[in-house]
A and B are shown apart, each in its own frame.
Chain A
Amino acid sequence: MMPDLTQHGTAETQEWKPAQNTPVIMFDRVSKTYGRINALNSISLGISGGVTGILGMNGAGKSTLFKLMMGKVKPSSGAIRLFGADPWKNPAPYSRVGFVPEHEKMYDWMTAFDFIVTFARLHGMTREEAGKEATRVLSFVSLADVMHKKIGQFSKGMRQRVKIAHALVNDPELIILDEPLQGCDPLARTTIMNVIKELGAMGRTILVSSHILQEIERITEQIVILHRGRVLALGNSHAIREMLDQHPHKIALECEEPRKLAESMIGIDEVTGFSFEQPGKLLIETQHLGEVHKLLPRIITESGTKVTGIDNPDDDLQSILMYLTGGSI
């Protein structure tokens, strides 16, 4: 059932009455322009349940999308519904939402515990309830032992986890994370990804944005690709991969005798070309990335060449966009 888009938000602090059978988030032909810049262009999207990755390069409109959801900015046209209500007019649905902003600036003078308690109280909790919840969410992100330290003393990864914890304090049904992995070291990334996966497993609706494909792939299979303010692709990451496989791909092989290796590949239909750009490196061109990857171990063994590395140099967002847009990114 589609939500009734003609409904209007009611008074701000009114008690929340959940709208039945509506997607958690509904975008209906939403556009957002800043002056002459088109940040979002007629986006229609409905999201309910699961973990969804919003993938796009810087300036693709990911943050604008989130700001519209959170009522921070007003759509230039179209309608947005967050739990059935217009977020620009009504902050009531935020009681069911946890938002992790991308901004790095935090209240460095506060302890992690105080920070979370303060903002938990804005959900209408008493001091005691807020304290209990703060301890719970800080343990969930494994910061219980440092929760009485000042945020200013925290590393980037710890700060991100504090931000995530703060968004979880009201036990939200929807969690929105704007670039939660940006600037984190590999260990912090893994920790944060695990936290997000765990939340997904708990049945929450999660939206997470990133500009790095591999990161998103490690978290979820459900992907929305944004490009220049439009939804370029939407669906399962495997489907997107398959779509990618229809386009010529490059595989880089680091080996001792590139020419010898190339010779052994002549006659394989899937391989459409070779190039030797650097010494000790063979570039294979193919339309069927998956097939070639399956064949490669046998070919390498048969040729008797020692291969030290295999890489897909164009297996990143930029290349995907290249393929999807037909080369005009």
Chain B
Amino acid sequence: MSTRMDTIWSKLDRKSTAIAEFTMRQYRTRISTWVIMIASVVALLLMLLFYIEAMNTEIQAIDNDGDSFDSDGDGYPDGQERLLGTNPESAEDFPIGVEPDPPEKWINEDDINWDNLKDGENYVGEDDDGDCLEYFDTSSQKDTNDNNIDCDIVITVDSLNETIYFDADSGVDEDPDEDKYGKEASHRAFVLGIGKFGIVYLLGIFLPLFLATGLIREEMSEGTIHYMLAKPIARGEVLLYRILGYIGITWPFILGICLLLCLVTGFSGPGDDFFRWSDIGVWMSIAWATMLVSLVYGVIFCSCGIIWKNGVILALIFAAWELGMVFVTIFTGGTSSIRYMSVIGWGMIIVDAGVTISWPDNWQLIQVGLWGGGQGEENWLGQIDYAALPGAEPLAAFTGSPNLGVSNWLSFVISTVVLLFQGIMAWFIGQSIFKGKEVD
């Protein structure tokens, strides 16, 4: 029995490698292969240029609390006068024997300097500029959040629902460093934006559109399929091994692209380390999602080509549906269930799970950025619309949650299994269409 199994396996192996190898060599001779690959690289490099420029441009610092302004015109910024106890509104009252500070010193002077918030109440905050501790006199002024600690912030964290409630004493951490936050948030937003939309969707759908739709169709229309179909090999096998060859070309390419982007953004991105190690997990999940998504699309598009000589039209209709699903998935942040009816929705779950695993602080970073120091205007409901820090909103838009109700690792595994299942189903349908297809 075992020798018989060996024989079957070795025969399968010979056939599969023969067709897969042949397919890969054939790709190299086709101009469309080079066009799509070069175009993808050029497009991504252009996006990278924007990224590198953004990372090297200083984000405009904003004086959120307005204390760099010299209201009374005595040369001393308001913040300095408040700290030293003189009246910022009176030109006659100014600190004596002290040199006036340059106004820039009072622009980002009270940064947010806390992270790793735990579930429940956290008491954090440091009044770097002294406009709470020194300027206010009474305890009721210094402890507006009533937690019996002067000049601090009460942060209530609910990591299950990914919500944070801020209750800050006035004048604490109210003037954060826009550049520092903005760089970090923009970097992450770029990685997710280019990763989810540019790589998982666009690369994931364009590679198969160009490379898989004609896998069988071109052979049929050129008549060369007759060589393959005159051999003792089932049509389902031909389809499978052709797809294997397609993977042999596209998967290394996807890995290469992701590695390139990971290296460039990892070295040039913000951070204290010389390389952003925590990004590796995100890029790996982007690469894995793209590989699986392009596999499923590849089988579907190849089958479209078998059904009809203009199968690319069917493929484009499907791609349009998937594009809709991209928007649904990205911009609802993973709360829509209609995404389960797509391929890309499951791909995005892989990325979102990877992000949550690799950047566990990501959702907090977003929430902090959206709070932005607590400055804002009251809206018509009487609530304060906080002025978000730069980069917080894009990051929030591109970040999603797996939302499968299980752990992140399990979400990762489940969506992988679902995508593989979709691929197998597509192959099954494709091969039964191929079997029933008359080849002229």
Contact = CB atoms under 8 A, between A and B. Distances in A.
Interface string B154-185: 00000000000000000000000000000000
B18 A99 contact: no
Nearest to B224: A105
Contact of B438 (A16, A72, A101): A72
Contacts of B233: 12-13, 91, 94, 122
B434 to A, nearest CB: 12
Given A72-B439, A73-B440, A103-B223, A126 B14 contact: yes
Interface size class of B (residues with CB under 8 A): 20 to 34
Nearest to A67: B440
B439 A73 contact: yes
Given A13-B12, A105-B222, A106-B224, A122 B439 contact: no
Overall SS of chain A's interface? loop
A175 B29 CA distance: 31
B439 A99 contact: no
Contact of B227 (A16, A97, A101, A104): A101
A74 B232 contact: no
B228 A101 contact: no
A122 B438 contact: no
Given A118-B22, A121-B15, A122-B18, A101 B226 contact: yes
B237 A125 contact: no
Nearest to B21: A118
A18 interface: no
B407 interface: no
Interface size class of A (residues with CB under 8 A): 35 or more
B29 A109 contact: yes
Interface in A90-131: 91-95, 97-99, 101, 103-107, 109-110, 118-119, 121-126
B90 interface: no
A91 B438 CA distance: 14
A120 to B, nearest CB: 8
Contacts of A121: 14-15, 17-18
A161 interface: no
Ranked 6 nearest A-B pairs via Cβ? A103-B223, A12-B234, A121-B18, A122-B231, A99-B230, A124-B11
Given A67-B440, A72-B226, 5 more contacts: A72-B440, A91-B235, A107-B224, A121-B17, A122-B19
Interface of A: 12-13, 16, 67, 70-74, 91-95, 97-99, 101, 103-107, 109-110, 118-119, 121-126, 166-167
21 contacts: A12-B233, A13-B8, A13-B11, A67-B440, A70-B226, A70-B229, A71-B229, A72-B226, A72-B438, A74-B438, A91-B232, A91-B234, A103-B223, A103-B224, A104-B223, A107-B26, A119-B228, A122-B15, A122-B19, A122-B232, A124-B11
